[in-house]
């Protein structure tokens, strides 16, 4: 299984970055800033970008066999000598049209340069329709027009067997295929192989991978999508932390990195403040991850995993079985302590043992004696409530929230829950009320923000957090889950400050950047009812994910043999941080 990490590289931002291309000879990434009128070259060795300014919008760049580059500049094909910063016109097209310019271009397998034109934009993606054409510049410098009546000539590439040409006219919202003759460069028999969905927005640049699958950048969609040209199906979506993704290519030492360009033109100040990396170049890296079921003993409702370093074990609860459990990776054995009510969460205690949220009580659990000592009982006026998820904050206070029990499957009284904080002196304050299902929670690495999930809001919210008093305030929406992600449940934070959210009935954990409010990674698990997650292991490089089988009927359980098990994910390329201890 593969996971994708995304990194913004380079310091300079483009107005309209486009046409990324890996120059193997230079070990560098080429790209253009169309409206910035620059051809750029970024070195991963130095992290710096050099640029050659030009006298018109420059829309694409390609490698030239004799050295240096060929570019599309205004309505000209031109040669560019990098060191001399010298541009020489080869030929011009669209001489009967005063308001067009070239857009995307690429060299075919026989060394011919395909590039298309479009009308100049009034504003991004708004222009006079049907003014563009698709051209080919041959090695003898002759030019052929393939067709006209194009809106925005854009992404293009060729199949690995050199028999099919793929092409995008952006305002058709389609990726098209043509029969392609390698010997002559002629194309024909046009057909659509994929129509973009509404949330994918406008197709822009495109490239092909070594498996023959197409990658399409979605302008205003904030993503690149992977398509199978044989089936016309979307195989994968990689979301970027900016909306205006423009094009993509593979590069790096073994072409295992994907580079994605983006734009900032057309964004107002408020939009740019939300997406400060707009116009940046992004590197996406795939890494192999491994998912294995490590706890085969099934949980009715596994929840609240916590790595206990002093015991080298994973502690968690089975809410509906009324058990606190501890699994040792050394012996692969699970020990458990039965309690007298549903136990929503468990946390480490500084003085040894654990603090738990049990029914509507805060309590201490002594593991060796299995004794449970009540600290305080809450919500005695709500006999149908119980605690759910909980976690200790950076100052040793135990935050935990409540919810109403179901009266029938999927049926419960709404807004009966609250969020409480248990202080080390055993005093309690109520932080929030009117909650449905108080769930996942964690704190930012700088201890200034508290993150919380009320599951039936289908959202993650952020609050300002005072580390000295423990009080939270000023809630704001951070991320709203998409339909296929289903309901948010437990949550943890990694050492890079990104949030991981378990999606119950969504069969996945998702990684969210709290700075941008964007989902940046999805890891699918082999069972649907994923409940919570934490980091653990020797260096906190392993993620542990709990699941449940309650709520699944017999037919579903027969198809979901791993339901209720606990999974270990390795190879994520990111580590977690140790859990906090309750300071009493």
Max alpha carbon distance in the chain (Å)?
A: 90
Q: What is the pLDDT of residue 179?
A: 98
Q: What is the pLDDT of residue 409?
A: 65
Round the CA-based radius of gyration of the chain to a whole number and report it: 28
Q: What is the pLDDT of residue 154?
A: 98
pLDDT-based confidence at residue 3 (cuts at 50, 70, 90): low
Q: What is the pLDDT of residue 317?
A: 98
What is the per-residue pLDDT across 341-383, written as a single tens digit (0 to 9) for each? 999 999 999 989 999 999 999 999 999 999 999 999 999 999 9
Residues 320-337: what's their mean pLDDT? 97
Helix (H, G, I), strand (E, B) or coil at 55: coil
Where helices occur in 226-379 by DSSP H, the ranges are 269-274
Which residues are paired to 348 by β-bridges?
Answer: 354, 581
Residues 204-214: what's their mean pLDDT? 95
Evaluate if residue 323 carries a pLDDT over 90.
yes
Residues 294-304: what's their mean pLDDT? 95
Q: What is the pLDDT of residue 56?
A: 97
Catalytic residue annotation: 204
Compute the Cα dihedral for 1, 177, 39, 138 and give only its sign. Answer: positive
Q: Which residues sit in the known binding site?
A: 18, 101, 103, 121, 154, 204
Evaluate if residue 102 carries a pLDDT over 50.
yes
Evaluate if residue 41 carries a pLDDT over 80.
yes
Evaluate if residue 288 carries a pLDDT over 80.
no
What is the per-residue pLDDT across 546-573, written as a single tens digit (0 to 9) for each? 999 998 888 888 888 899 999 999 988 8
Count the alpha carbons within 13 Å of 173 in the hemisphere toward its beta carbon. Answer: 10
Nearest to 204 by CA among 254, 255, 253, 242: 242
Evaluate if residue 1 carries a pLDDT over 50.
no
Q: Which residues sit in the known binding site for substrate?
A: 101, 103, 121
In order, the DSSP letters of 1-43 are -EEEEEEEE-S---SBEEEEEEETTTTEEEEEETTTTEEEEE-
Task: Indicate the burial class of 564 (C-beta count within 10 angstroms; 0-12, 13-18, 19 or more).
Answer: buried
Q: What is the pLDDT of residue 516?
A: 87
Token digits of residue 265 = 């033109």
What is the per-residue pLDDT across 471-505, written as a single tens digit (0 to 9) for each? 999 999 999 999 989 999 999 999 999 999 999 99
Cα–Cα dist 378/402, whole Å? 10
Helix (H, G, I), strand (E, B) or coil at 171: helix
What is the per-residue pLDDT across 262-282, written as a single tens digit (0 to 9) for each? 999 999 999 999 999 999 999
Neighbours of 464 (CB within 10 A): 13
Under 8 Å between Cβ of 491 and 532? yes
What is the per-residue pLDDT across 388-411, written as a single tens digit (0 to 9) for each? 999 999 999 999 999 999 887 668
Cα–Cα dist 325/318, whole Å? 7
Continuous segment of H or E residues that includes residue 559 = helix 554-559
Q: Report how far apart, in Å, the C-alpha atoms of 99 and of each of 169, 317, 532 are.
A: 18, 67, 56
Nearest 5°: phi and psi at 556?
Answer: -70, -40
Residues 405-426: what's their mean pLDDT? 90
Q: What is the pLDDT of residue 242?
A: 94
Q: Which residues sit in the known binding site for a divalent metal cation?
A: 18, 154, 204
Residues 191-200: what's their mean pLDDT? 95
Specify the DSSP class assigned to residue 578. P
Q: Residues, the chain, total? A: 584
pLDDT-based confidence at residue 257 (cuts at 50, 70, 90): very high
Q: What is the pLDDT of residue 122?
A: 85
pTM exceeds cut of 0.75? no
Q: What is the pLDDT of residue 287?
A: 63
């Amino acid at each position: 299984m593969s996971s994708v990490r995304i990194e913004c590289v380079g310091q300079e931002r483009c107005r309209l970055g486009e046409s990324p291309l890996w120059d193997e000879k230079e070990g560098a990434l080429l790209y253009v800033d169309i409206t910035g009128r620059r051809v750029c070259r970024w070195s991963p060795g130095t992290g710096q970008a050099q640029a050659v300014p030009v006298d018109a919008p420059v829309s694409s760049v390609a490698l030239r066999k004799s050295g240096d580059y060929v570019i599309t500049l205004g309505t000209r094909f031109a040669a560019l000598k990098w060191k001399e910063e010298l541009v020489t016109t080869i030929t011009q097209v669209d001489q009967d049209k005063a308001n067009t310019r070239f857009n995307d271009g690429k060299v075919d397998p026989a060394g011919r340069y395909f590039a298309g034109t479009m009308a100049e934009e009034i504003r991004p993606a708004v222009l006079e329709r049907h003014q563009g054409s698709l051209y080919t510049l041959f090695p003898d410098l002759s030019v052929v027009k393939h067709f006209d009546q194009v809106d925005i000539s854009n992404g293009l590439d060729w199949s690995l067997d050199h028999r099919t040409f793929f092409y995008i006219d952006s305002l058709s919202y389609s990726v098209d295929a043509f029969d392609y003759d390698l010997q002559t460069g002629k194309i024909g028999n046009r057909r659509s192989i994929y129509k973009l969905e509404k949330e994918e927005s406008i197709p822009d640049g495109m490239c092909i991978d070594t498996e023959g699958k197409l990658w399409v950048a979605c302008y205003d969609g904030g993503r690149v999508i992977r398509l199978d040209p044989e089936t016309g199906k979307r195989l994968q979506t990689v979301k970027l932390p900016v909306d205006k993704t423009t094009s993509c290519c593979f590069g790096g030492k073994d072409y295992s990195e994907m580079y994605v360009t983006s734009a900032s033109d057309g964004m107002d100040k408020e939009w740019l403040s939300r997406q400060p990396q707009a116009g940046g170049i992004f590197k996406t890296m795939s890494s192999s991850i491994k998912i294995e079921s490590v706890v085969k003993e099934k949980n009715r409702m596994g929840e609240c995993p916590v790595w206990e370093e002093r015991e080298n074990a994973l502690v968690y609860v089975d809410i509906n079985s009324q058990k606190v459990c501890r699994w040792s990776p050394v012996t692969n054995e699970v020990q458990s302590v039965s309690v007298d009510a549903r136990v929503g969460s468990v946390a480490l205690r500084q003085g040894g043992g654990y603090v738990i949220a049990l029914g509507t009580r805060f309590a201490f659990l002594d593991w060796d004696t299995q004794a449970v000592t009540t600290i305080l009982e809450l919500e005695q006026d709500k006999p149908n409530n119980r605690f759910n998820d909980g976690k200790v904050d950076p100052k040793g206070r135990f935050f935990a929230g409540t919810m109403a029990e179901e009266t029938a499957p999927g049926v419960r009284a709404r807004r009966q829950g609250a969020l409480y904080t248990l202080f080390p002196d055993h005093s309690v304050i109520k932080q929030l009320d009117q909650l449905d299902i108080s769930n996942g929670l964690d704190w930012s690495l700088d201890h200034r923000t508290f993150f919380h999930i009320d599951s039936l809001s289908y959202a993650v919210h952020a609050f300002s957090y005072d580390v000295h008093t423990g009080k939270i305030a000023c809630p704001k929406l951070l991320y709203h889950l998409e339909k296929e992600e289903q309901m948010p449940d437990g949550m943890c934070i990694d050492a890079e400050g990104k949030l991981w959210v378990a999606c119950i009935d969504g069969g996945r954990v998702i990684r969210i950047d709290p700075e941008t409010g964007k989902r940046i990674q999805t890891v699918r698990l082999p069972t649907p009812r994923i409940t919570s997650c934490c980091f653990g292991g020797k260096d906190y490089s392993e993620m542990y994910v709990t699941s449940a089988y309650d709520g699944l009927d017999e037919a579903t359980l027969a198809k979901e043999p791993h339901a209720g098990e606990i999974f270990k994910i390795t190879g994520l390329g990111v580590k977690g941080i140790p859990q906090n201890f309750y300071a009493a």
